[in-house]
Structure 1
């Protein structure tokens, strides 16, 4: 006989104490000490030897489970272990003769089956920790592999009636609902379960059945041992194995995701896609999936409360889960089932084509389509320039401008994400996608019924008209409604009069679906828009079509060299920047923490005006004679100490460093160059040759040209000499220079960042450059300062990084901040060094120092001065650094805060003594920060330092948001 839950109505867990469990384990040939593990209806114990090593897991099945059921569970586990070698599986342990270590034993709960199972080290995904998209996908992939493996598995022990089987969810909820004491919660569960069960009416008979594990929750998915980021690679607890709907194998893990920090319904999509790749879902299964998630959530709530009542306080596992189960239910029902179903179908590519909207009569009979101006409020709209999108009244203002220009009406389209609805410094994406269209008429307009229908609701400024397959909703303040509730209208009948200039919202809802909000978040837009329709045909206009962007990343990979990587696994499409914000095509504004290229802020109006004006007049190469290149060169040279008075203009930092090396080698006649290890200087031949960052080139040290000589990275935090001992770096490097000279290879140049950027903004030890510069010059070489990242006031207290060291280089290389995103770089040196370049030929850069580049360079200097951005780096940078340092008091992962001004680095370590780099944790943290609205990226040879170098215009509010968000993300990830 197999178990029938409804015959028992309750399945209390076996009452077994740890000492009795140890006795049972000894009977099975595994003597040891027993530690109780959690379970809802079974009794589980961890068995340890005297030395503390784990021997296995003792599982004592519920007395209601028979021998055939236990046998089926063991066979299923071994089948999965054999078919999926990449998965660890909690199979039954066997004796030397091959027989399972299992027996029926007597307990105070009666005879039960006890067996020893393989212990999988590493722990489970239990807990509220945030799970990254990669982890979520891995959960779905695991469930898909289990489902595919069990598809053909047959066994008499699978024919069970369990309360977890979704085929019986309606009966289970009805039976156990009284165990929910709170009336509001009880009503919510009853309503949601009934609605989900109805949603399955058309699918129930079509859903395929097979053997399912039915409990692939975060409690039963084991993660790789020692992995810093949880990745499931093991499956345990086959106690709920049964025959049921196959798609339930996915619904179960999806529901278990919903209590984790920061996980909401749309976040499960990576799991769905990964499952689908392993075991393709039928359309009928995809339509049933979210109703099953809701039913699973409802079942968890009622069963948990029943089990808590049965076991009393003796079952701590059950009581601890009550709050978690309610959280799952709240999340599962936070988005209408029909919306989630449409969203999943869209993501899986299983959505059906939408029916075209064909009105029987126009909504506005006296307004020709050609007289309508279509309002572009997207991220690409010119009207959104110069931060206009942050004005709460921008939509009405632009509409009035069109009306004043002669448009008979203005229409803001359906389904197009509106930048005007965006919000900055928000941890959640704003609702930017309209589910209807907005209309502003230039004159009083009569709104007419587009089809025959019945008026189902009339409120001040609002009419709802049922037109069979579609429901029309009209909303407008001050509109004069001309029909009454329950009135029957014919196509063309007058519904309301809309006053001139007043906004009306027109929404078309598919019949029988829940009322859509006016705007939805982009993550849920495909689901909501599938249940609505574009009202544009009601105005005689074609329906709005979103551009097919789904393949844009693939197109990039096909045509753009893949070595030119991109941030993030699934990067947002960034199409606009403003000050210290980046904005996606869906209207999500991200705080930009990494963009030292846009030093004075994205889309600065002064740069825009200067470039536009100059492009209207002239843009050519610097061999022509014009004023701007002279003006800019004079200003740049004036920012540097004597004898640095001569400027070369190029297009990038790589070119600047390359040229700086060539100048030094040409002036000294000595080809050898000394550079620091773990540094990055560029991608051209010479700049790459002196770059030894392992992340930019893992073979950097082994592939240097013979003329490049490296000295130890003077990292006072994690280098060979730390803290006060960092003073030893300079003498050691000086000895290396002296040894080169003694060997007849005195260096022509020493190249170094003035402030150690690649390591995350680590200051060089005091006096370091002074000693190195002196040594190199003593042997006839020149000092080259790479200021590409740290120059231009970013350090706050110093305009140039070399000022912090109290030295003056022979050659300074600059870029990035110079052009605020425009390709502009420079090399500044003395006239004597510059003139020696003629010995190698002549220098020419087609667009370096062009009129546009020169004007941009001067404009950036104007803004740095006029907006006191260096001073801002001092003030806001100090506030930010203090906030980041405070995080270390609560989060052990925070090792150190490096840097100065707005060039900071937050180094993350697993151990503050050993300084083991937290590489994987840093990557996961960056992904989570993106989800919370912040763009931040790792740097350093171990990719464990958050590089914090935002536009210099960033303000205190934004840095406080960054610090608070980082605190939240660290907590959610368990750090």
Structure 2
């Protein structure tokens, strides 16, 4: 079947009529019509090429030929209900298990990060027989009703925090209560969770789970302080709860030095449940929950079958296996370390030049550039961040976006094939635009 090709204006008009208006577009004032992609590049209907710094879903690069071949070959052979035996699902689980601590060995395959986090919540409650959940401020864990309830990023806008949801401070060492100069911010922020647990117990409630993004993304590309998760896990376990690490944004080697973001916290920390999603299928809907045998046995023993029609189907698993192959064969973890480290150094150089750059943080190809109007007060430079994003797109054909509570953090989560040359181009163009909008400190320029 040949589909009619519409003009950009017609496509936009039809979308307004047919698609829910809450399904927003990137760059909504001047939305883009993207018709093809390759590697770290997107192409619009006019053939214009854009450097993509934000598509962490297309983990190993847009339209990677190895992924396309794996999907087509398996689709041509078989795709069926997961109640039939098939080798792919066990091969894939075995490969994933090789990247994880021995403790995490039981897998449940699903279709999205939201499905994974919803299942993790069910597992936690079934195992602990408790109900309450602790989350970090500004966290986002998915779009299902159960996950909106544990996502302050969403429920604060609705003014509807459930009584069983308890919000701990975001461990932000740049603008939070305990900052980089603190002797042990990990312990200090962990103690805020301990205090919260004590308050929950005083109200007669019990903790089922502590949900944490291994590197909070919507919160502003946050790197958790050293030792935080291990210390929180001790407190949560003492309270009879479990720790759920949400790796939907940052798993599969994005941080470079480790395969999973939670591993940045050291070998002495391992979550009880971990969720993964977006990058798993390089754009194909594929996600997963992994947990311990003990927790899985409790879930099995509740008398209610868990079944997911499409989760772990042969095509999805073939794609997942191909993604793992590409990560290994193209040394993409090493690339994330080298390129991400170089990008971070370039941005740190710009920080010494531009007073509007308050903080540069990140790990591998997960990098944040926080803009502030005042270095002492840390007033968010929201308008300037939006202007930088807009001008990078319109003038330099570079796509970035903002995150953080005040949308003043420029985030970089590009495909893992992002190059040294790409990083240098991005830094060069940011420098030019910040100079033009007058954010340079003359005294700092003299120093450099």
TM class, shorter-length: over 0.9
SS of alignment partner, residue 26 of structure 2: coil
Between 1 and 2, higher relative CO (CA 8 Å, sep ≥ 6) is seen in 2
| 8 Å CA contact retained: 2:148, 2:155 | no
Matches within 5 A, 1:894-913: 894-913=357-376
| 8 Å CA contact retained: 1:658, 1:685 | no
Cα 1:666–1:962 shift into 2, 3 Å: same
Matches within 5 A, 1:323-342: none
> Which residue of the partner structure matches residue 971 of structure 1?
435
Kindly tell me the number of residue pairs found equivalent between the two proteins: 429
> Which residue of the partner structure matches residue 228 of structure 2?
768
> Which residue of the partner structure matches residue 345 of structure 2?
882
1:715 to 172, 179, 188: 172
Residues 256-303 of structure 1: CA distance to partner in whole angstroms, max 9, x if unpaired? xxxxxxxxxxxxxxxxxxxxxxxxxxxxxxxxxxxxxxxxxxxxxxxx
Cα 1:571–1:773 shift into 2, 3 Å: same
> Which residue of the partner structure matches residue 866 of structure 1?
329
2:8 to 540, 549, 568: 549
Residue 546 (structure 1) shift: 8.2
Matches within 5 A, 1:126-205: none
Matches within 5 A, 1:181-580: 547-568=6-27, 569-580=29-40
Aligned equivalents of 2:90 and 2:358: distance in 1? 47
Aligned equivalents of 1:546 and 1:737: distance in 2? 57
Runs of 4+ in 1 over 4 A off after TM superposition: none
Aligned equivalents of 1:777 and 1:797: distance in 2? 28
1:930 to 363, 380, 393: 393
1:836 to 298, 317, 336: 298
Residue 746 (structure 1) shift: 2.1
1:855 equivalenced with 2:318 (yes/no):
yes
Aligned equivalents of 2:189 and 2:323: distance in 1? 37
Residue 638 (structure 1) shift: 2.2
Matches within 5 A, 1:941-952: 941-952=405-416
Aligned equivalents of 1:929 and 1:595: distance in 2? 16
SS of alignment partner, residue 601 of structure 1: coil
Aligned equivalents of 1:549 and 1:954: distance in 2? 28
| 8 Å CA contact retained: 2:55, 2:413 | yes
> Which residue of the partner structure matches residue 956 of structure 1?
420
SS of alignment partner, residue 418 of structure 2: coil
Aligned equivalents of 1:840 and 1:766: distance in 2? 41
Aligned equivalents of 1:549 and 1:900: distance in 2? 37
Matches within 5 A, 1:721-740: 721-725=178-182, 726-727=185-186, 728-740=188-200
Cα 1:741–1:777 shift into 2, 3 Å: same
Residue 685 (structure 1) shift: 1.9
> Which residue of the partner structure matches residue 443 of structure 2?
none
Aligned equivalents of 1:888 and 1:847: distance in 2? 47
Cα 1:697–1:892 shift into 2, 3 Å: farther
Residue 813 (structure 1) shift: 0.4
| 8 Å CA contact retained: 1:864, 1:870 | yes
2:274 to 790, 795, 812: 812
Residues 775-830 of structure 1: CA distance to partner in whole angstroms, max 9, x if unpaired? 11112111100011111111111211111112100000001111111101100001
Aligned equivalents of 2:336 and 2:218: distance in 1? 20
Aligned equivalents of 1:878 and 1:710: distance in 2? 32
| 8 Å CA contact retained: 1:738, 1:775 | no
Residues 190-218 of structure 1: CA distance to partner in whole angstroms, max 9, x if unpaired? xxxxxxxxxxxxxxxxxxxxxxxxxxxxx
Aligned equivalents of 1:751 and 1:556: distance in 2? 35
| 8 Å CA contact retained: 1:760, 1:898 | no
| 8 Å CA contact retained: 1:760, 1:904 | no
Aligned equivalents of 2:128 and 2:365: distance in 1? 36
TM-score (norm 1): 0.43
> Which residue of the partner structure matches residue 699 of structure 1?
157
Aligned equivalents of 1:917 and 1:723: distance in 2? 18
Cα 1:648–1:888 shift into 2, 3 Å: same
Aligned equivalents of 1:548 and 1:774: distance in 2? 57
TM-score (norm 2): 0.93
> Which residue of the partner structure matches residue 209 of structure 2?
749
Residues 828-854 of structure 1: CA distance to partner in whole angstroms, max 9, x if unpaired? 001221122231611111211111111
| 8 Å CA contact retained: 2:166, 2:196 | no
> Which residue of the partner structure matches residue 669 of structure 1?
129
Aligned equivalents of 1:891 and 1:840: distance in 2? 61
| 8 Å CA contact retained: 2:277, 2:286 | yes
What is the Cα-based RMSD across aligned positions, in Å? 1.6
Residue 738 (structure 1) shift: 2.8
Residues 527-580 of structure 1: CA distance to partner in whole angstroms, max 9, x if unpaired? xxxxxxxxxxxxxxxxxx984332211211111111110111112211111111
2:255 to 789, 792, 795: 795
| 8 Å CA contact retained: 2:278, 2:286 | yes
Matches within 5 A, 1:622-637: 622-637=82-97
SS of alignment partner, residue 152 of structure 2: coil
Residue 704 (structure 1) shift: 1.9
| 8 Å CA contact retained: 1:620, 1:850 | yes
Cα 1:686–1:589 shift into 2, 3 Å: same
> Which residue of the partner structure matches residue 649 of structure 1?
109
Residue 720 (structure 1) shift: 2.1
| 8 Å CA contact retained: 1:734, 1:771 | no
SS of alignment partner, residue 724 of structure 1: coil
Structure 1: give runs of 5+ residues left out of the alignment: 1-379, 381-544
Residues 398-453 of structure 1: CA distance to partner in whole angstroms, max 9, x if unpaired? xxxxxxxxxxxxxxxxxxxxxxxxxxxxxxxxxxxxxxxxxxxxxxxxxxxxxxxx
> Which residue of the partner structure matches residue 824 of structure 1?
286
| 8 Å CA contact retained: 1:652, 1:815 | yes
> Which residue of the partner structure matches residue 197 of structure 1?
none
Structure 2: give runs of 5+ residues left out of the alignment: 440-448
